A = this chain, B = another copy of it.
Amino acid sequence: MTKNIDLSKENLFPVGELFNSENFSGQVWLKMLTQDPSCPVANVTFAPGCRNNWHWHHGGQLLLVTGGRGYYQEWGQPARELHPGDVVEIPAEVKHWHGAAPESWFSHLAIELHPELGPAQWLEPVADEDYSQLK
Does A36 have its Cβ within 8 Å of any Cβ on chain B?
Answer: yes
**Shortest distance from the beta carbon of A74 to any chain B beta carbon, whole Å:** 16
Docked CA distance A115–B6 (Å): 37
User: What chain B residues lie within 8 Å of A34 (beta carbons)?
Assistant: 62, 87, 89
Docked CA distance A41–B88 (Å): 12
Pick from B11, B62, B66: contact of A39, CB below 8 A. Answer: B62
User: What chain B residues lie within 8 Å of A20 (beta carbons)?
Assistant: none
A interface secondary structure, majority: loop
Which stretch from A44-52, A97-105, A106-114 is at the chain B interface?
A106-114
User: What chain B residues lie within 8 Å of A113 (beta carbons)?
Assistant: 36, 38-39
Which residues of A in the span 60-88 have a Cβ within 8 Å of any Cβ on B? 60, 62, 64, 66, 84-85, 87
What would be 7 A-B contacts, judged by CB atoms less than 8 Å apart?
Answer: A12-B85, A13-B85, A13-B87, A33-B87, A36-B60, A36-B62, A41-B111
Which residues of A in the span 9-63 have a Cβ within 8 Å of any Cβ on B? 11-14, 33-36, 38-39, 41, 60, 62
